[in-house]
A and B are shown apart, each in its own frame.
Chain A
Amino acid sequence: MSTDKSSSHISQRYDDELSGVKSQLFEMGGIVEKQVKDAIQSLLDIDSRIAEHVVKDDTTINDMEVAVDEDCALILARRQPAASDLRLVLTIIKTTTDLERIGDEARKIANQAIMLAEEGPAPSGYVEVRHIGHSVSTMLSQALDSLVRQDVNLALEVAKKDKAVDLEYGTAVREMMTYMMEDPRSISRVMGIMWSLRALERIGDHARNIAEHVIYLVKGDDVRHVGIKQMAKAISDDD
């Protein structure tokens, strides 16, 4: 059952409060999505100007997390939400945490970009960044879409992609180690890329968390720490 399909509450203000936190969350999602794209771009183009923007805008995300959580706490205290409303508020609180962490990871990537820009020519490993970066930004966009549309099938796609990203990350780490062994002088720069890849992989994990929250929101089933198969089963169950 979707909270959007359900009719409105008798209390107009309650409706306003819920849609208020929802739209704040979506706005926060949009900003985080852009932060991640910009961070990847700044790393690929070694553009410290974009990177500095990403670092600076992270405080906006932090402020939004606090604001959304505060509003959710008030809704819990004042309305005692039940059933789908309760799941919505819990989902929002959890999702803000993941979004804020994604923001932190984007800031880390941007910081690496700034450092690499100071060090000169592009190190090896950009192919991996481009590839994993693309997968991860797609995952994040899809996770946010699945949240807005309460689309559990799309959420499942995100979880599946996370598995693939984890594998790609493992491969990329081995590649980086080869680069470092081949040319020890490049170690510090390749390490910069490694940290960025690590941050991307973490962003993928957070996107998967968001997708799991969506399944909980819509289906009421907690699908954290279960395999894809069980997740798919939870989605197909009609309840």
Chain B
Amino acid sequence: MSMNESNHSLSSNASEYSTTTGQIEVENPKMSMRNVDVSYGDKQAIFNVNLDIAKNEVISMIGPSGCGKSTFLRCLNRMNDTIESCKVSGDLLLEGQDIYDPKLDVVPLRARVGMVFQKPNPFPKSIYDNVAYGPHIHGLANTKFELDEIVEKSLKKAGLWDEVKDRLDQPGTGLSGGQQQRLCIARTIAVSPEVILMDEPCSALDPIATARIEELIDELSANYTIAIVTHSMQQAARVSHRTAYFHLGYLVEIGSTDDIFTNPSHKLTEAYITGRFG
């Protein structure tokens, strides 16, 4: 059977991928999602996704454009709330707490579950203020000294301190693309999140800056839980512990990155990661 034939028959029949292959549960999950459906108006974008995210793991979500990976990621800190037509249903728990509870304040949620976006988006403020802003409004620092400490620590963790320590008062927008993205990561870290969501964090960066961010992700995984959406399968292979493959709104397969990239169980996953479609 040629790959082309198999793709053809696969993509036309949702029953072949509507149940997830692989182990969705983990012990003591940091986040736990069950029966998640998402639609934009009449159009359903996510179908019955079930997935646990373990503490301090790096989980990557891959799949062709429009497969719902970014939509799913954005559900995890209610970033989709900003889109009027978007409806999310199902159970989404952060340490057992329903994050879609109507009584829950979304601002502290987003401090606990931070997000780094595709394009670096520093505030039009100084490097210092970019990092200090979050801890300041969340009241994490009582004195200027404490705030200074948080800024320094965050920039160090983001691997940016040595490059910017002499020009903290200069605008964040004056940094290079890779530096800006690390500044955004520092800004996210500054509010001591538990989970960091990254939506294509390297797609606007050159290979060297990308490698530095990936190295950073590896270091950060010691203290944070990281969920990353990426178009680059190679990046998923390099940085993540587990990989989830999405297809047309379904979670097709979830497994250890080692298994997914050497011996995936589902033929759609195999076809996608070997570059046969997507």
Q: How far is the CA of A74 from the CA of B257 in the complex (A)?
A: 9
Q: Given A10-B208, A11-B238 in contact, is the A78-B215 Cβ separation under 8 Å? A: no
Q: Tell me the dominant secondary structure on chain B's binding face.
A: helix
- Most chain-B CB neighbours within 10 Å: which of A12, A13, A73, A77? A77
- Cβ contact within 8 Å between B218 and A10: no
Return chain A residues, CB-CB under 8 Å to B234: 80
Please, which residues of chain A bring their CB within 8 A of the CB of B214?
10-11
Contact B218 A13 (CB under 8 A): yes
With both chains docked as a complex, state the minimum distance between the C-beta of A86 and any C-beta of chain B, in angstroms. Answer: 14
Is the CB–CB distance between A78 and B257 below 8 Å? yes
**Interface of A, helix, strand, loop or mixed by DSSP:** helix
A18 to B257, CA, bound (A): 18
- How far is it, in angstroms, between the C-alpha of A175 and the C-alpha of B208 when the chains are bound? 64
Answer whether residue A94 sits at the interface, using C-beta atoms and an 8 A cutoff.
no
A11 touches B211 (CB 8 A): yes
Closest chain A residue, CB of each to CB of B262: A77
User: Can you list, as one digit per residue, whether each of A74-99 has a CB less than 8 Å from chain B (1) or not (0)?
Assistant: 10011110000000000000000000
- Would A74 and B258 count as touching, CB distance under 8 A? yes
Known: A74-B262, A77-B261, A77-B262. A10 touches B215 (CB 8 A): yes
Please determine whether B218 and A78 come into contact, CB atoms closer than 8 angstroms: no
Interface bin, chain A: 10 to 19
B212 interfacial contact with A, CB 8 Å? yes
Cα distance A74–B259 when bound, in Å?
9
In the bound complex, do residue B238 and residue A10 qualify as a contact, i.e. CB atoms below 8 Å apart?
Answer: no
Shortest Cβ gap from B186 to chain A (Å) = 18
Query: Chain B contacts of A11 at CB under 8 A?
Result: 211, 214-215, 218, 238
Complex interface residues of chain A between 1 and 38 (CB less than 8 A to chain B) = 9-14
Complex contact A73–B262 (CB within 8 A): yes
- At the interface, yes or no: B237 with Cβ under 8 Å from chain A? yes
Interface residues of B in 227-273 (CB under 8 A from A): 234, 237-238, 257-258, 261-262
Q: A10-B214, A12-B218, A77-B261 are in contact. List 15 more A-B contacts (CB 8 A).
A: A9-B211, A10-B212, A10-B215, A11-B211, A11-B214, A14-B238, A73-B262, A74-B258, A74-B262, A77-B237, A78-B238, A78-B257, A78-B258, A78-B261, A79-B237
Instruction: Write the residues of chain A forming the contact surface with B, with a CB cutoff of 8 angstroms.
Output: 9-14, 73-74, 77-80
Q: Interface of B with A (CB < 8 Å)?
A: 208, 211-212, 214-215, 218, 234, 237-238, 257-258, 261-262
25 A-B residue pairs with Cβ-Cβ distance under 8 Å, sorted by A, are A9-B211, A10-B208, A10-B211, A10-B212, A10-B214, A11-B211, A11-B214, A11-B215, A11-B218, A11-B238, A12-B215, A12-B218, A13-B218, A73-B262, A74-B258, A74-B261, A74-B262, A77-B237, A77-B258, A77-B261, A78-B237, A78-B238, A78-B258, A79-B237, A80-B234
